[in-house]
Amino acid sequence: MSRLQNKTALITGGTSGIGLETARQFIAEGARVAITGSSANSVAAARAELGDKALVIQADAGNVAGQQVVAEAIRQAFGHLDILFVNAGVAEFGPVEQWSEAAFDKSIAINVKGPFFLIQALLPIFSKQAAIVLNTSINAHIGMPNSSVYSLTKGALLTLAKTLSGELIGRGIRVNAVSPGPIATPLYSKLGASEADSKAMADHIQSQIPVGRFGDAAEVAKTVIFLASDEAAYIVGSELVIDGGMSNL
């Protein structure tokens, strides 16, 4: 396939999970790809896997000044940018009474503030037919206990997709969102629960998914490819939900 032939793309949080799988598929579709990752280990692993097929940039997704650095790296490498997939994020859960201001600010910075200022920094180099896809979540729609901060950040990102779609379409930039449900990625292993608790949580979540399984990162990646491609040229300000029917219950 070559749906992204000769296009340039940036994927934030592209060193694991949905981001890394999307990078693989973007490359297979003919795109020149850059990805960001926050840790030295994940960046090194992604470089080892992708080799010279991708530009790998270490960057803190929640650092505003760092977004300018990423934008300049893209300008120097590609000259312009056709596709941005905002995928980097943090998922932290807990009862509302246990949240500290520092933890709250961290989630806001990574999931909302950083993406906003990255888009701002990239505006001068977006092409005239660029596509931005924001990775939100079905948590923006459902009242899942202990997800208050995560859900509000994803709700903010979803609102941003809708408002920027109206603001940027005059520049030829389409903005859309994907909202995954439970996807089998390393995210769930990073929540700090024991193996037994993690399995119990996974079993409980799976019981709420009508198709009876977690989604696969490749299923999200294929949706992102569609929204980023010229096939979706008439889709602006939309949200595609990828959750096996979970949010319809």
Domain coordinates of the chain in residue numbers? Answer: 8-240
* CA distances (Å), origin 133, targets 22, 85, 155, 175, 218: 12, 5, 15, 6, 16
Check residues 155 and 205 and name the one with the higher pLDDT: 155
- 185 pLDDT band (50/70/90 cuts)? confident
Within 8 A by CB and 6+ apart from 158, the residues are 134, 136, 140, 177, 179, 239
* Mean pLDDT over the full length of the chain: 94
Amino acid at 7: K
Q: What is the pLDDT of residues 20-33, one digit of tens each?
A: 999 999 999 999 99
Of 171, 234, 246, 176, nearest to 207 by C-alpha is 246
Answer yes or no: are the C-beta atoms of 57 and 70 closer than 8 Å: yes
Tell me how far apart the alpha carbons of residues 185 and 113 are, in angstroms, rounded to a whole number: 24
Of 206, 178, 201, nearest to 189 by C-alpha is 201
Query: Could you tell me the pTM of the whole model?
Result: 0.94
Cite the active site residues.
Answer: 150
Q: What is the pLDDT of residues 198-237, one digit of tens each?
A: 777 788 889 999 999 999 999 999 999 999 999 999 999 9
Mean pLDDT, rounded, for 35-45: 96
Q: Which pLDDT score is estimated for 193?
A: 59
Tell me how far apart the alpha carbons of residues 120 and 48 are, in angstroms, rounded to a whole number: 31
Q: What is the pLDDT of residues 59-117, one digit of tens each?
A: 999 999 999 999 999 999 999 999 999 999 999 999 999 999 999 999 999 999 999 99
Mean pLDDT, rounded, for 161-176: 98
Give the whole-number percent of the chain exceeding pLDDT 70.
96
- 191 pLDDT band (50/70/90 cuts)? low
Of 185, 176, 174, nearest to 219 by C-alpha is 185
Answer yes or no: are the C-beta atoms of 82 and 130 closer than 8 Å: yes
Q: Which class in CATH covers the domain with range 8-240?
A: alpha beta
* CA distances (Å), origin 112, targets 86, 95, 106, 134: 10, 21, 10, 10
Q: Which pLDDT score is estimated for 98?
A: 96
Answer yes or no: are the C-beta atoms of 80 and 31 closer than 8 Å: no
